[in-house]
Amino acid sequence: MTEPLLEFRDVTIQYQTNRGPVTAVSGASFSIEPGEFSGLVGESGSGKSTLVKSVIGGLDSNGEVTAGKILYKGEEIQDYTEEELNEKIRWKEISYIPQSSMNSLDPLQRVSEQAVEIASVHSDLSKSEALERFKELFEIVGLSPDRIDDYPHQFSGGMQQRAITALALFLDPALIIADEPTTALDVIMQDQIFKYLDRVKANTDTSMLLITHDISVVFESCEQIAVLHGGQVCESGSVEDIYRNPTHPYSILLQRAFPDIRYPDRKLEIIEGHPPEQLGEVTECSFVERCPWAVDACYENAPPLENVSESEQNHQSACFRNDETHALKGELTELAGLTDGGEPNE
Amino acid sequence: MEVNPMNETPVLEIRNLEKYFTRKGGFLDSLFGSSKEPIRAVDDVSLALDQNEVQGIIGESGCGKSTLLKTVIGLTDPTGGDIFYKGKPLSEFSKRDWKEFRKNVQIIFQNPFESLDPKFTVRESLIEPLKIHDIEYSEERIHDALDRVQLNPPQKYLDRLPKQLSGGEKQRVSIARAIIVEPDVILADEPVSMLDVSTQAAILRLLSDLTEELGLSMLYISHDLSTVSDICDLIHVMYLGRVVETAPTNQILGQPRHPYSQALIDAIPIPDPFSDRPRTALDGSPPSPEELEAGCRFKDRCPERMPRCDTAPKKVETDPDQFTACHLHYEESDSRPNTEAALQGGNTQ
Amino acid sequence: MSLEVGGIRSLKDRFLIRDVLSGLRRLMDDRPAKLAMGYLSVMLVLAVIGPHIAPYPYDKILFSEAGQILRAQPPSLAHPLGTTSTGQDVLSRMIYGVRPTMITGLLGGLIIVTLGGMVGITAGYLGGQTDNVLMRITDFIYSIPLIPFAIVLVGVFGIDFFVTIFIIGGILWRGSARVLRSKVLQIKQRPYILMTKASGASTPYIILKHIVPNVGSMVILFFAMGIGYAIIAQAGLAFVGVSNPFIPSWGVMIRNAYRSGLVADAWWWSLPPGLLISTTVLSAIMLGRRFEVLSGQTDDAMLEMG
């Protein structure tokens, strides 16, 4: 196996508050391979934003990676300073598409000027080379190349999001981290963005880490998925494996909570409660309070990520009852179109 | 619109409703006397909501659905058309009628984080509408309302402030606040769009159960077709101020006739890696409502555009109970009247 | 249950009282706020009992054993802050000066925030013509230069301690009116206001029950800042002579020191009132600021004033 591009190894991130340390991420492990699109799924309070910030910098000043390692191309980056991140990582290696694209372009600068500025700080591209490249990228993300000299306010919300994507691709990074890139957009606009991200995937060898609460877009657009709940990685693996054979109770329920337009009469699953706020060290499964199948062991320890089956590569789940959930799932109402561990539909 | 089998008056009816915003021209405009076209946020919308019926209004942001809602509840005045509550037009309301209307038509907003006064405890938020309407209340009534929205036990929540509640709990309190005065109609403005998916289904089911149990009618506004199937009987698809298609929910999901409804449905992601859903064929975003041309509002983005689209399409019954405003579905020579207009007895366009 | 339904609520269920109490509780946990509060409490106490504990009456002319007037004596054990050029005890004058200063601050602050609040909230919530008229009035007040205006008015009404305060309050409300108006413009668009409106609540009800409590922390901030600004303005007016010279406020002291020509030499006389004005103003403003920050609604209020 090749070396992963980005790897989280047992990462724990804590915020120091006046009530004591709050654990936002605990013992999270997963990795992104070169050229792969990977989705990180979790609801609010799952720790997904914290995890992203730990890579690109920008953790609040009271937050810190207290255990584990974040490896980028084999190098530990969790303790990088701002300068090191700027010099070695940002734009060139990892670029970032923030959730609120509207606020991340400088309103007083033409988009092309912002690109040239990034080029001059982070690369040796000449101005004309930079503009040439930027035009190509505008084409890829579906914007007309003669609009690179526009000001941000001349673009609509969806177009700004694409302009940001073009900027993110600008220095040919190995990885793009997209934090809920389409959450604020309508479905048609969202689909347009993903249409162009598909194109990015086809035309470049950039990897992507897509942070979202929407399991549907990950199933459609990514190859790998990691499901995050209360700061713990519940389950990770290929989207196909997790679609066909979700093993962690949270992934099982989450999958069933999503509406599928093909089956409008599906009774959607409800997951009661919300992810806990972990004060201090984490000593139990973070899903235990919401899990219909919790047993005593779940309160005593946080379950480790373990391989689910030999046939499914990289498919790991963190549940003490990994072997049983398949059977337990039978208690749930049958969902139209979801065959139990069987073959794909259609 | 659906013909009411019982021939009862609909609880709430909207006829050819228009809400235009006139724009103040700049100084130069007033100097040269050029006047600007008004922004047509809601343009000729009609619907009739029967007792215990739930209708959805679906459209992208900026299509005018929120303006429609605010107009219906009387927060802004319409610039044309009329709204009827139990057969009586709002324009002829007396002060007492308004008071009655304000009690009987309640609204739930999208953002649970801002729909409760941060300074009010749950109890105070619930008591407030009762006080406003001089309704005698007992502790029991408050408990009962919280019970109905499944905040159990009520004592646990009564003295909390909004910041001590999760998003889903806040939305439940908003719902409790709406139903505590025993209204007939609830207007819901995207009540789940800001909640996590694990909570969305719960709130939707709660709303659906409540309308059932209490015999409420509801107008449900959303940008998301995938969440409305559980709750709405009838769906209106809105685009740039106009309703382009109206049909029972399953029909619109299964056989959308308007190219825009089709595009909306096609763009919904499917939680299945094996589905080969093609990405949307639509490009660009809706034009700004300030610069609308004559004819069909969707024509510039429509994959089926024809020369005829430069005239406004009439709304015809394409399937039983399904009404579509698109030239694809009738011949130019078609003498069928504009169905909706005929049913409403008014004239449109 | 602390609330009898339909009956009398216990005091702590009134949200205004609840708000103030929780605000105070939070202030008590905050070091800068505690410091400012402690300082202001001492000042308030001095304002009440000052004249009783001051070693000498403020206007008593002191003589040495040799029978000479103790003119501009540097600090000594008997007179820790020395004496003035007319032989009065500086410390005693300082202590006497607390009362007029605190009255100026509290009354001035109250006028500022009451006028500013009424104008700002009414204009913001009602909008339209009312807003237009009220804001043009505010703009007009902005165009008035405080000190020349005060000099003219004092000429009309005569030099009076309270007249000065009313003039100050009558002008300085303009900043709080503007900021409160813009805050209300934001709040009135919030769903809970729309919801209350849609359920038929009257305008006065919405303003009193929803708008005022939600701008409450800002009102308190402006009250605190009003205290500070009123004290400064009063000191300024006193210095140019537009204040009753027989009321021994700190501003009057600085003026006297200046007029005696001994500002630089008799530092024990000129410096303490200046320092006390600064620390008092600073404490008031800091307390307001901390209250606003701690009540969690920091919009980084544009601290526009005066």
**CATH fourth-level superfamily of C27-294:** MetI-like (1.10.3720.10)
Q: Do A269 and B202 touch (CB under 8 A)?
A: no
| Residue intervals in chain A for CATH 3.40.50.300 | 1-93+174-346
Note whether C116 and C177 are within 8 A (CB). Answer: yes
3-state secondary structure chain A: CCCCCEEEEEEEEEEEECCEEEEEEEEEEEEECCCCEEEEECCCCCCHHHHHHHHHCCCCCCEEEEEEEEEECCEECCCCCHHHHHHHHECCCEEEECCCHHHCCCCCCCHHHHHHHHHHHHCCCCHHHHHHHHHHHHHHCCCCHHHCCCCHHHCCHHHHHHHHHHHHHCCCCCEEEEECCCCCCCHHHHHHHHHHHHHHHHHCCCEEEEEECCHHHHHHHCCEEEEEECCEEEEEEEHHHHHHCCCCHHHHHHHHHCCCCCCCCCCCCCCCCCCCCEECCCCCCCCHHHCCCCCHHHHHCCCCCEECCCCCCCCEECCCCHHHHHHHHHHCCCCCCCCCCCCCCC
Q: Tell whether the model's pLDDT for residue B1 goes beyond 50.
A: no
The more confident residue out of B149 and A184 is B149
Q: Which of A189, A240, A262 sits opposite B270 (nearest CB)?
A: A262
Q: C67: left (phi > 0), else alpha (psi -120 to 50), else beta?
A: left
Query: pLDDT digit string (tens) for A261-309?
Result: 888 878 888 888 888 888 888 889 999 999 989 999 999 989 999 998 8
Q: Do A187 and B223 touch (CB under 8 A)?
A: yes
Q: What is the mean pLDDT of residues B321-345?
A: 70
Residues above pLDDT 70, as percent of chain B: 89
Q: What is the mean pLDDT of residues B278-303?
A: 82
CA closest to A222 among chain B residues? B273
Query: pLDDT digit string (tens) for C208-221?
Result: 888 988 888 888 88
> Could you say which residues from 142 to 201 on chain B have a Cβ atom under 8 Å away from some Cβ of chain A?
166-168, 196-201
The more confident residue out of B34 and B148 is B148
- Tell me yes or no: is domain A1-93+174-346 CATH 3.30.70.1520: no
Tens digits of pLDDT across chain A (346 residues): 568 899 999 999 999 888 888 999 999 999 999 989 999 999 888 888 889 888 888 788 888 899 999 999 988 888 888 888 888 888 888 988 887 666 778 888 888 888 888 888 888 888 888 899 898 888 878 788 888 888 888 887 778 888 888 888 888 889 999 988 887 778 888 898 888 888 888 888 899 999 999 999 999 999 999 999 999 999 999 999 999 999 999 999 999 888 888 888 788 888 888 888 888 888 899 999 999 899 999 999 899 999 988 888 889 999 999 888 888 887 777 666 665 444 444 3
CA closest to B255 among chain A residues? A262
The more confident residue out of C2 and B125 is B125
- At C3 the pLDDT is 39
Q: Do A219 and B269 touch (CB under 8 A)?
A: yes
Q: Closest approach of chain C CAs to the CA of B314, in angstroms? A: 34
Q: Closest approach of chain B CAs to the CA of A252, in angstroms? A: 12
The interface predicted TM-score (ipTM) is: 0.84
Provide the residue ranges of all domains of chain C, joining segments of one domain with +: 27-294
CA closest to B76 among chain C residues? C198
Give chain A positions within 8 Å (CB) of B279: 191-192, 194-195, 198
- At A37 the pLDDT is 94
Helical spans, DSSP H, in chain C: 15-28, 31-53, 90-126, 128-142, 146-157, 161-187, 191-198, 203-206, 212-240, 250-259, 267-294
> What is the rounded average pLDDT for all residues in chain B?
85
Encoded tokens for A115: 């690109």
Query: pLDDT digit string (tens) for B30-80?
Result: 565 555 678 888 988 999 999 999 999 998 887 888 889 989 988 888 998
Q: Do B249 and A265 touch (CB under 8 A)?
A: no
Q: Closest approach of chain B CAs to the CA of C19, in angstroms? A: 8
Q: Do B253 and A44 touch (CB under 8 A)?
A: no
Q: Which of C3, C15, C192 sits opposite B116 (nearest CB)?
A: C192
CA closest to C9 among chain B residues? B124
Q: Do A191 and B280 touch (CB under 8 A)?
A: yes
- At B343 the pLDDT is 47
Which CATH number does the domain B51-71+95-232 belong to among 3.40.50.300, 3.40.50.970, 3.30.40.10, 3.40.1190.20?
Answer: 3.40.50.300
Q: Phi first, then psi: what are they for B222, rounded to 5°? A: -160, 160
> Could you say which residues from 41 to 80 on chain B have a Cβ atom under 8 Å away from some Cβ of chain A?
60-61
Query: pLDDT digit string (tens) for B200-259?
Result: 888 888 999 999 999 999 999 998 888 887 789 999 999 999 999 999 998 999 899 999
- At B178 the pLDDT is 92
Tens digits of pLDDT across chain C (306 residues): 333 443 344 444 566 677 777 778 888 888 888 888 899 999 899 888 878 887 777 777 777 777 777 676 777 777 777 777 777 887 888 888 888 889 999 999 999 999 999 999 999 999 888 999 999 999 999 998 888 888 888 888 877 888 888 999 999 999 999 999 999 998 888 888 988 888 888 899 999 888 988 888 888 889 999 999 999 998 888 888 887 878 888 888 888 888 777 777 777 777 888 898 999 999 998 888 888 777 754 443 333 333
- At C118 the pLDDT is 94
